[in-house]
Structure 1
């Protein structure tokens, strides 16, 4: 059995018997006990009352975090001609067409977000088995298949986060860094929860937002009082 370090033991003790804290208290607790040697990500988990095996209960969308993610996002764009030029001017890291398909097929996936113009989707469709499992496949529902590639690139670079419900009915996402000021983390968390709330599918029955928890990358998690994370909208 692996030996538990002093730092982890102390964090677990601090989190023991604490649950459903007001958002600001939960953020302060997570920040205080994030003691890794790197700037940890603050991660959120939202438990939903949905069964994503049913198409009418699928939850997915995007949210533009008001204070960004604290992460440098590398963006690849499938486009040609003027649209390719617009993507580059907006700050895209990689722009291409058939050449980009070849790179990805050869195993080079050096980006965090993938955007495509609608006319490029027959080409991009060849990469479904590669990009799909990595949640990188362009999709019009989250704005990554669009003729306005410049705006999509700026959104991706500016703190836009994609979310999609997992099989267990949970949505995960990164909402900032532990180095962020507490109020900025709280703003990001509320923006994320609000976006998930707005994405409620038609087939959802009963209580939709069931639980919200936050944690740092290496730290324990703590549940948050829903009324403080959602403004009372559950």
Structure 2
């Protein structure tokens, strides 16, 4: 059996029983103790749900606003004209346009985290389906990214709103902040994210819905969370 290096030995000693399920606050404290990198890692939550997203009535998808933000700079593009375009720019959109923005994206300029459009612009945006779809950037009215209120949509995107979508194996995950955040802010974001997932429980979900939850940092181990403290799980 290979010998553990000093860092691995320290991690093993601190983790102890890797089957333990932690309260969120205790897990956050332990993540800080286990941190070995110098950069500001992202704190990530992963949830194993009792759904099969291959069935339409078991899909879990939506948006949630994290009260303490994400700690990331979100780059937003908006398809709009006239007053709506001006409102989007005033709200902080990084790029606003119509056919010109479409052509810019067709040329390969797709470095955006969120794409928003007014309803009248969907004829233009639809021509970008093959580019935006695979990147998860296609505006969608169900997610609030096709809306006449582009000003609010931009503010939401910039202010900590994130999209969630369950993967094939029934797992859903997201970054809920940075290690530099306070434990209180990370707890608020964790609670908001988990609450949104619980409220998004699809009609076709059978049996136990929230089966497992884990917290980790970008480079750290995953810590199992005690789901008994999660309302509606």
TM class by smaller structure:
over 0.9
* SS of residue matched to 1:210: strand
Q: Is 1:10 matched with 2:10?
A: yes
1:117 counterpart residue number: 118
Q: Measure how far apart 1:164 and its partner are.
A: 0.5
> In 2, distance between residues paired with 1:5 and 1:151?
51
Unaligned ranges ≥5, structure 2: none
> In 1, distance between residues paired with 2:65 and 2:192?
8
RMSD across aligned C-alpha pairs, in angstroms? 1.6
**Which residues in structure 2 correspond to 1:78-97 (within 5 Å)?**
78-97=79-98
Q: Measure how far apart 1:9 and its partner are.
A: 5.1
> In 2, distance between residues paired with 1:76 and 1:99?
12
- Which structure 1 residue ranges, 4+ long, deviate > 6 Å from structure 2? none
Contact 1:116-1:149 at 8 Å conserved across structures: yes
Unaligned ranges ≥5, structure 1: none
Q: Which of 7-16 and 209-218 deviates more?
A: 7-16
The 1:84–1:30 alpha-carbon spacing in structure 2 relative to 1, beyond 3 Å, is same
Map Cα deviations across residues 153-178 of structure 1 (whole Å, 9 max, x no partner): 00011111110011111111110000
Map Cα deviations across residues 115-163 of structure 1 (whole Å, 9 max, x no partner): 1111111211122222122111111111111100000000011111110
1:77 counterpart residue number: 78
2:131 counterpart residue number: 130
* SS of residue matched to 2:123: helix
Map Cα deviations across residues 26-62 of structure 1 (whole Å, 9 max, x no partner): 1111122223221000011111000000011111011
1:187 counterpart residue number: 188
**Which residues in structure 2 correspond to 1:44-193 (within 5 Å)?**
44-193=45-194
1:233 counterpart residue number: 232
Q: Which of 162-171 and 23-32 deviates more?
A: 23-32
> In 2, distance between residues paired with 1:29 and 1:55?
38
* Count of residues paired in the alignment: 230
Map Cα deviations across residues 65-120 of structure 1 (whole Å, 9 max, x no partner): 11111111111111111111110011101111111111211211122111111111
TM-score w.r.t. structure 2 length?
0.93
> In 1, distance between residues paired with 2:9 and 2:99?
52
Q: Measure how far apart 1:13 and its partner are.
A: 4.3
